[in-house]
Structure 1
Amino acid sequence: MPLRDCSHPITNDMPVYPGDPDVAVEPAATMESDGFRVHRLALGTHTGTHLDAPSHLEPDGATLGEYEVEDFRWDARVVHCDPGAGGRIRASDVPDFGDVDAVVFGTGWSEHWDTERYREHPALTPDAAARCADADIHVGVDCPSVDPAESEAFPAHHELLGAGSLILENLTNLAGLPERVTLHAHPLPVDADGAPARVVAEY
């Protein structure tokens, strides 16, 4: 079955959410000086394409270390939509779930990655997030957040994370994916509030 990488590469000076740590990928040993290569990585837990664990915003929420490896393999429904800049994904845009574990919203916004416009991204309404949370469904978006950039209360995050649903943010390369895929969303094995993830769609 075809595989598609839906992850942004981790690179020096890549964009990060405002206030998050900058990313650095720097040589720690070189072939010329040491006869081998080692790089030093500096990055935050929500760098690039990443998973949010409930502990990201919930005081008693689970960390990634509390999940089993199979918890990061999802039967997912892909919803292609175009809310536009600052638009909202509403409860009426959320499909019937059937037997899926996750819903992924492909808005095309990853095309604006590494531009100022990327911060004007679409977001979920609290009602849309609540519909997913009530069904115990994980959520993925090709945007920097499920909440709007101006939000300080993060209602969509709280709806999802408070119910134990995981959130995937900063997905990319979703255009043309079929309605149903198997999503492998495996984060770095760190017991934290989130982690960068290599996300691969199988279809």
Structure 2
Amino acid sequence: MKKNFLTLISLFGFVAVQGQRLPQDTTLNSYSNQINIQALKSITLQNGFHIPAPAAGKTVTISIVGFQNLLSTPTAGQNYIMTKTFRSPGVTLATLNAQRTIGDENQSIQYFDGLGRPSQTVQLMASPTYKDIVQHIEYDGFGRESTKYLPYGEKSGNGSFRASAKSTQSDFYKDGVGWDVAAVKTPNPYAVTVFENSPLNRVQQQGAPGSPWQPSANR
């Protein structure tokens, strides 16, 4: 018995298909009998979008055509460790630093402060629009990470250290200011840990991101 399949695939290496220039981003709320749905950066299927069962032997493809090259420029003067995750085979020591696309290689950069503690994590070009995903890290006067901040999407993608990450993260989640409409807005995009007032550093209260989940002392 034959079965009908909806095939979702990712392709790369092309800018135009059959003489037609593809859009950078595509948003669809209904299906118009296309066989191929393609874009260069992103395809957003809105609520309610559906594809009826195709006829026998028919395949519908939804694909991203053309990943961008990685553009990594870690900040000079900062201590950091770069982690590369290869998604295509054939990497050798001789080709370790060769130019690759975001589809072939993922990079994460962990920055450290002068005491050797993590201070910022940058996922290079990891957002749907190839911008960096940054997580700010800070410590209180006793060296504890008493406030843990949610990661946020930057407006650029180069892997650099963001000196204003704390304020930018707040703006990203701020209603009426944040530049990603899909991100849930909150004045408290962080989790607060309340420790007892003793050298034992035992946890008294544990909060979570969002106003309803703040410890009582922080409300």
Q: TM-score, normalised by structure 1?
A: 0.23
With a CA cutoff of 8 Å and minimum separation of 6, indicate the structure with the bigger relative contact order. 1
Larger of the two Rg values belongs to structure:
2
Q: Which of the pair is proportionally richer in helix?
A: 1
